[in-house]
Structure 1
Amino acid sequence: MLIHDWDGLTDYERKRADMLANEGYNVLAADMFGQGIRPTSIEENKRLTGELYDDRNKMRRILQGALNAGRLEGNDVRNGTTMGYCFGGTVALELARSGFPQKAFVPFHGAFDTPTGQSYDKTTGEILVFHGSADQSVSLESFATLGKTLEAAKVPHEMVTYSGAPHAFSVFGSDRYDARADERSWKRYLDFLADEYK
């Protein structure tokens, strides 16, 4: 399952889904905001994501709905991997904390704070994190704290940082795009999937 950034499900995520499909994977691109809801301003982005950050139960219900849709299409969603970009990476970690059984959870430049009252004690899959060292939105301290949290919870994990890479480094066409970090993280992700599903 692929989860979009705070712009909603756009051509960027569709392109990434196509790239994975071309590698032979079934991909469900989940829409966390709802059909046709696409923010057109920073204020709308903040409102839509904020509503879900403030109501984690709603976030989890939407995720369950997406997973159910994937299951109805004949996919073994419990044998899946959930990845996400920025906001979507944060959502992928929410699914990991929920205890839903999957092989892996993979945030690309997501946020790493663990909400009060939550933990990774029920996490069943591995966590693979890609982060830019020059990310001004999510600090390296937050990245390190996630590593300590996962280690304490005995969750298998791999965490990679890319020097000079800003937040949203993988979004091709944007002024934050970092080709080196994008290409390396994508290659590592494909290698990871190949190992998980061999």
Structure 2
Amino acid sequence: MFSENLHRRTPRPTNTRAAAATAIGAALGSVLALTPLSASAEIVGESVIYEVDGETFEGYLSRNTALGDDRPTVVIVHDWDGLTEYEMRRADMLAAQGYAAFAIDVYGQDVRPQSTEESQEASGAMYGDRDTFRARLMGGLEALGDIDGVDDDDVVVIGYCFGGAGVLEMARAGADDVEGYVVFHGGLGTPEGQDYGGLDEPMLLLHGSADPVSSMADLAVLTEELDGAGVDHRAMIFGGVGHAFTVWSSGDYDLEADRASWQAMLDFLDETLD
């Protein structure tokens, strides 16, 4: 199903959240400053072009080249506005922690929403065609097999908002070689006809109690489904926190919840990846 054709080229700018540029740089700088790096260490980010079912996609890979090949890998599923500077900076932050991080592209190389309406259209197309959604999620995961410096057998998948819904879609599909799943303020509903039966890998849910998009009732339903399927899971709830609490440019941004959820994810990665 998935093409083996994959190559890399010099990164080009993708759709950015200009209002968040200063915060992004400060957040990344803080992480790099706190992470011990050798004198020869270098965080290298690059675009990765790959194909799924004959269509071209452009992801972003970040890793510390001083640490050698076959690094434990974190796959990032982007938010509803496509692969932007936000996911790229999160990938860099993970690379500073010693992981290889690959932000996949679910929409296609030439689809970078520039407005709320375009984001709604692009994400709605995926929600409306679950087969295509799954194929593109799995295609991004499959692309790891042709990328140097990653361990495609030692993978955790994370996602934010729409990307969180994508993480749950992959979990229900039973992605091969994935060791765990992390959902940041994601869409939590389970489509009709899907379930978590057969899921053996652990899951971490990070959620704001005041999220108007995915309510506490939605979270309760999901955890009941996970309980019923015997899935090892934990949920961290941030009281009074809204939806996009990790997104630096969002009105919902909450510094304490962002820091605490990031640390919870790092702890989960440490427990889950080799």
Does TM, scored on the shorter chain, surpass 0.5? yes
Structure 1 residues 66-99: Cα deviation after superposition (integer angstroms, max 9, x where no partner): 1121111153334211100000000000000001
- SS at structure 2 position matched to 1:2: strand
The answer as to 2:168 corresponding to 1:89 is: no
State the 1:119 CA deviation: 0.6
State the 1:6 CA deviation: 0.6
Equivalent residues in 2 for 1:73-112, closer than 5 Å: 73-74=147-148, 75-101=150-176, 102-112=178-188
- SS at structure 2 position matched to 1:103: strand
Percent identical residues: 43
1:67 pairs, out of 127, 130, 141, with 141
Residue pair 1:125, 1:156 contacting (<8 A) in 2 also:
yes
| TM-score normalised by L of structure 2 | 0.70
- SS at structure 2 position matched to 1:17: helix
State the 1:183 CA deviation: 0.4
> AA paired with 2:166?
V
2:252 pairs, out of 171, 176, 196, with 176
Distance in 1 between residues matched to 2:170 and 2:265, nearest whole Å:
19
1:162 pairs, out of 235, 238, 246, with 238
Larger-Rg structure: 2
Residue pair 2:200, 2:232 contacting (<8 A) in 1 also:
no
Distance in 2 between residues matched to 1:76 and 1:31, nearest whole Å:
19
Unaligned runs of 5+ in 2: 1-74
The answer as to 2:203 corresponding to 1:124 is: no
> AA paired with 1:91?
G
The Cα RMSD (Å) is 1.1
Unaligned runs of 5+ in 1: none
Distance in 2 between residues matched to 1:146 and 1:189, nearest whole Å:
19
Structure 1 residues 11-53: Cα deviation after superposition (integer angstroms, max 9, x where no partner): 1111100000100101110011111311122221111111110
Distance in 2 between residues matched to 1:197 and 1:123, nearest whole Å:
17
Distance in 2 between residues matched to 1:149 and 1:77, nearest whole Å:
28
Which range moves more in the overlay, 151-160 or 75-84?
A: 75-84
Distance in 2 between residues matched to 1:141 and 1:62, nearest whole Å:
29
- Residues paired across the two proteins, number: 198
Residue pair 1:107, 1:130 contacting (<8 A) in 2 also:
yes
